[in-house]
C-alpha cells in the first residue's frame, strides 16, 4: 500500500502547524519565490523532494504497449516513405 496522500485534506501535522503559526511564509504560494532561509537546508526538511516515497514496480504491460505503438508508427512512416519516394511511377518513353 502506498503511503502517498491522495486527498486534499490537511494532514494532522499541517493542522497543528496552521494552528500554531500565523501569516504565510515565502514559497507557500504557487510561483512565489522562496525566502532566503527557505531552501530545505534544515535537517529533515526539504521543500521539494519526498525521500520517504519509493518508486513503484515497473509496469511492463504499459511499457510494452508504448514500444508496440512506437514500432507500429515507425512501420506506417516507413510504408509512406516507400510508397511516395522509392516506388515512383516510371516515366513514359517519348
15 burial class (0-12, 13-18, 19+ CB within 10 angstroms)? exposed
d(CA 38, CA 32): 12
More confident residue, 86 or 24: 86
Residues 64 and 52: their CA atoms lie apart, in Å, by: 29
pLDDT value for 21? 61
Percent of the chain topping pLDDT 70: 50
With a cut of 70, say whether residue 85 has pLDDT above it.
yes
- 35 Cβ contact partners less than 8 Å away, ≥ 6 residues apart: 25, 26, 27
d(CA 79, CA 25): 58
- Residues 9-36: pLDDT tens digits? 777 777 777 666 666 665 566 655 555 5
Cell numbers describing residue 36: 532566503
**What is the domain partition of the chain in residue ranges?**
12-52+61-86
Give 52-80 pLDDT, tens digit per residue.
Answer: 667 789 999 999 999 999 999 999 999 99
Amino acid at each position: 500500500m502506498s503511503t502517498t496522500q491522495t486527498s486534499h485534506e490537511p494532514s494532522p501535522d499541517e493542522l497543528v502547524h496552521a494552528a500554531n503559526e500565523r501569516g504565510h511564509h515565502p514559497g507557500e504560494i504557487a510561483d512565489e519565490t522562496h525566502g532566503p532561509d527557505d531552501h530545505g537546508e534544515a535537517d529533515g526538511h526539504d521543500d521539494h523532494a519526498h525521500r520517504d516515497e519509493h518508486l513503484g514496480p515497473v509496469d511492463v504491460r504499459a511499457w510494452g504497449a508504448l514500444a508496440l505503438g512506437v514500432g507500429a508508427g515507425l512501420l506506417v512512416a516507413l510504408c509512406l516513405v516507400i510508397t511516395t519516394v522509392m516506388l515512383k511511377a516510371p516515366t513514359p518513353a517519348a
